[in-house]
Amino acid sequence: MSSVLQDRLCTDQCLLMMQEGMTMRKVRSKSWKKLRHFKLQNDGMTVWHTRQYGGNAKPSFSISDVETVRKGHDSELLRSLAEDYPLEQGFTIVFRGRRSNLDVVAGSPEEAQVWIQGLQLLVDIITSMDQQERLDQWLNDWFQRGDRNQDGRMTFQEVQRLLHLMNVEMNQEYALSLFEAADTSRSGTLEGEEFVEFYKALTKRSEVQELFENFSADGQKLTLLEFVDFLREDQKERDHATDLALKLIDRYEPSDSGKLRHVLSMDGFLSYLCSRDGDIFNPDCLPIYQDMTQPLSHYFIHSSHNTYLVKDQLYGQSSVEGYIWALKRGCRCVEVDVWDGPNGEPIVYHGHTLTSRILFKDVLTTVAQYAFQASDYPVILSLENHCSWEQQQTMARHLTEILGEHLLIATLDPMLSTELPSPEELRRKILVKGKKLTLEVEMEDKEEELESELGTEPELEPKYHSETELHPRKNKKGKVGRERRERKRRERCLRSKPILCPDLSALVIYLQSVSFRSFTHSRENYHFYEMSSFSENKAKNLVKEAGNEFVQHNATHLSRVYPSGLRTDSSNYNPQELWNAGCQMVAMNMQTAGLEMDICDGLFQQNGACGYVLKPQFLCDPQSSFHPEKPLSPFKAQMLLVQVISGQQLPKVNETKEKSIVDPFVKVEIFGVRPDTTRQETNYVENNGFNPYWGQTLCFRILVPELAMVRFVVKDYNWKSRHDFIGQYTLPWSCMQQGYRHIHLLSKDGTSIRPASIFVYICIREDLES
């Protein structure tokens, strides 16, 4: 256990009261409110709960899974219960990943403050832990799980059970020999430091030891020159290798004498390889490192679809939590579907469905609060306006009053511009994307309203219900009559007052939505501030049929792509296909985890996770010859060699089955232009999730590396059914470091599952045949 954590658990009054336990009310909805007794365990890392009237204690949550704690005033659910429970008594525990928040009401404001302050203190302590402290804490967690009777020591029987929990299948005789070697007190049990020594013996990395000895003359240490050789030859750190070696020795060598002599021990070498510097993701790509002064059309923009939904598209809950979740992850384009609501207040929901409703002004208040917590670069509000004239005026007033100085209400340059402004110029500004009041837009709006009234849906296949509909010639006279009546109806509608409110129209500055007709039309008629939205199917067809024109169009104009309306389960499409054509705003259902979101998260983790990633130069040129479906020279193909060496502390797939041990294998997937998209995998290792060894090399030929994403997936082999997911990590080709690297795995939800990792060797070289 961390010394800081141990000290606070014994002295901090809030933590002491939490360890005694407290009865509070767990709230899920207006009708579900149950009393539970919550208690912080002695390890300071887990909170358990029991039902009000007894019963077995159950783990409620781990502190390491908590992102932050909010007061009751900031909870959408608790605000709705303010008449029943004072907001000062409530608080919300916000978890990492996609786990639902936990809303709790304490017995008094003072008790609520105990948990708010105590939990936030624990979160801060864990967040500030260094690599060694995190490992110590992880070991302590395992010791607590293995020590069934909680007497502070483990028998060999308890150790055997623990090995199964840790995904280790080990010969009993060998396990006993490690146990006896670690039991220096000869007590027949393992305590504190003895367990640490047992773990070290268990996790001895023979493959790292071999690598260390290849460069060490005496097998005991790496001199400065030997370490520099390793960095240059294997890690491809050719620039300033000597200065880098000195920094790494100072950072990771545990002994002071080693630091003074500028040498690296085996422990220091392993610490380096497991650190951020030894990670596959290049740390130079973590801060904002790209040019942020180019036009908006030159960037991929992290975008969300139907941001207000936290579940499915038909019956799911609408919540401001969707906006909080998206904005805190660096999302820069959020969608707001606005409809007429009661009492003159516009509401947000998925129209013509059973999804719940939230107030438009509550969405704006949330956006104002969270817009720039993760990134200073501009936020785009993609407005889908279905409101009456009067409620549009209310929308305009709320936008102006709630967003205040952050709302962009005029062009940056009063002089006539010919291109979109840059993210840098628009720092801390919120832009409205929507339709603007012009004669052409009024006509389009009337047409769309009529189509909606008539029930026409252009992208759906026509449905025929009668013999005359199946054979239109038999009903020619009736058809002519219907067309005449429809034409008159359209004419009457077009003479009525405009549908779009001028106050709302005036707030659309650089992002005017227009209907797409053709690339020829857009070249001849579009202004730089006009943009179109495409369904995923429409966009994919354009990529196939006119890929080069799409690339040229996206060099100067923004395009937004959204999921098919048939994805009622909030599933996602692969954004890579649209990025290949330079589409900037490829909107995702961010509430749904999976391969597609892994690719999206992988791209946007770079550049400070600011939500903007600069496109390759050939996607920014209006005269580009690039075609995403037929990528030809001058591209130089590259070869990627991935030696998958070993795995470390892979989690169990099924925690409920103690004796179930995974049979892991690694799949490496490439996503990019069509010829580059491929996958290969290793063999599986039977019954070993703790330290499996593969030692297999996979080879890939990549034509357009600038667009490639690389995904490493670890799965549990199962010949009877689909292989179970263990962990994954996805990153852009351009951010991948060469050499011996650790890949720290993420859960299906995108959260860290440290210390689970795989150890690989990466080599990239030009394909001489291309």
Q: Which residues are catalytically annotated?
A: 305, 350
Tokens read off for 468: 């005359």
Nearest alpha carbon to residue 119 among 38, 237, 208: 38
Cα(196)–Cα(213) distance, rounded to whole angstroms?
25
3-state secondary structure of 423: coil
Cα(34)–Cα(21) distance, rounded to whole angstroms?
16
Cα(16)–Cα(118) distance, rounded to whole angstroms?
9
Beta bridge partners of 312: none
DSSP string, 372-409: TTS-SS-EEEEEEE---HHHHHHHHHHHHHHHGGGB--
Question: Which residue type, as a one-letter code, is found at position 149?
Answer: N
Nearest alpha carbon to residue 71 among 101, 47, 93: 93
DSSP 619: G
Nearest alpha carbon to residue 307 among 602, 600, 591, 604: 591
Give the Cβ contact number of residue 230 at 10 Å: 24
Cα(323)–Cα(265) distance, rounded to whole angstroms?
48
Which segments of 416-507 are extended strands (E)?
A: 430-434
Nearest alpha carbon to residue 156 among 137, 138, 174: 174
Q: Give ∠ CA 483-488-493 in degrees, rounded to 5.
A: 125
DSSP 153: -
Name all contacts of 721-729 with Cβ < 8 Å and 24+ positions apart: 723/665, 724/653, 724/662, 725/653, 726/650, 726/651, 726/653, 726/662, 726/664, 726/689, 726/756, 727/650, 727/651, 727/753, 727/756, 728/598, 729/280, 729/602
Cα(477)–Cα(273) distance, rounded to whole angstroms?
79
Give the Cβ contact number of residue 332 at 10 Å: 25
Cα(577)–Cα(596) distance, rounded to whole angstroms?
11
Tokens read off for 568: 């009622």
CB-based contact 657:645 (threshold 8 Å)? no
3-state SS of 99-119 is CCCEEEECCCHHHHHHHHHHH
Cα(280)–Cα(393) distance, rounded to whole angstroms?
51
Which segments of 3-63 are extended strands (E)?
A: 22-27, 33-40, 46-51, 54-62
Tokens read off for 584: 């900037």
Cα(471)–Cα(467) distance, rounded to whole angstroms?
6
Burial class from Cβ neighbours inside 10 Å (0-12, 13-18, 19+) for residue 111 reads: middle
Nearest alpha carbon to residue 586 among 331, 404, 230: 331
Residues in the chain: 770
Backbone angles phi, psi at 86, to 5 degrees: -55, 135
Cα(668)–Cα(670) distance, rounded to whole angstroms?
7
Cα(34)–Cα(418) distance, rounded to whole angstroms?
60
H helix and E strand count, the chain: 24, 29
Cβ within 8 Å of residue 129, ≥6 positions away = 2, 137
